[in-house]
Amino acid sequence: MRVLGVDPGLTRCGLGVVDGGPGRRASLVEVGVVRTSASDEVADRLRAVSEGVDEWLDRVRPDAVAVEKVFSQANVRTVMGTAQAGAVAIVAAARRGLPIGLYTPSEVKAAVTGSGRADKAQVGFMVTKLLDLPEAPRPADAADALALALCHLWRGPALARMRAATPARSPGVPGGRR
């Protein structure tokens, strides 16, 4: 399975692609960032992120996309930009019919380091070890994107099976069963 991880951001949107599967060690396909200038208009920045994500999706042809869920931050402006960039990636993947996994930062950290409270340095270190890289990808957004891809590679199939096994719910019906 090939997974594109997206660490959304308006200034730096991390993108990382890994291949892997049951009984196989995960391997790096590609890693990088889409950069925009803080002085540009938000619409132009979102267009640049959208074009970058589209270009990656067309080139690397992933089987799934993993995007970091936005979490509450003190800076509302930062959280809005992150959410908007994440939405751009989700829409690009959805247009292609790709499965999308959304993960919180603590879920990703726990998947790659064993601790949901790991810092960026620990995540970068573990990504380096897990993918047998000579050094941690830079900037940290790139390493975070690879961590997202690894998280989905390991957790995505199990989550999909759980969703498929959950009975459908009907809105407004007590108990939710049809």
Residues 6 or more apart whose CB falls under 8 angstroms from that of 63 comprise 1, 2, 3, 98, 99
Q: Is 141 annotated to bind ligand?
A: yes
Taking CA atoms, 133 is separated from 15, 30, 80, 90, 143, in Å, by: 16, 12, 33, 28, 11
Confirm whether 68 is a catalytic residue.
yes
Q: Is 7 annotated to bind ligand?
A: yes
Catalytic residue among 44, 54, 119, 141: 141
Q: Is 68 annotated to bind ligand?
A: yes
Confirm whether 54 is a catalytic residue.
no
Confirm whether 119 is a catalytic residue.
no
Q: For 38-80, give the DSSP string.
A: TTS-HHHHHHHHHHHHHHHHHHH--SEEEEEPP---S-HHHHH
Catalytic residue among 51, 63, 68, 132: 68
Sheet holding 12-21, edge to edge: 24-35, 12-21, 2-7, 64-68, 100-103
d(CA 111, CA 147): 8
Q: Which residues are annotated as a binding site for Mg(2+)?
A: 7, 68, 141
Active site residue ranges: 7, 68, 141
Q: Which residues are annotated as a binding site?
A: 7, 68, 141
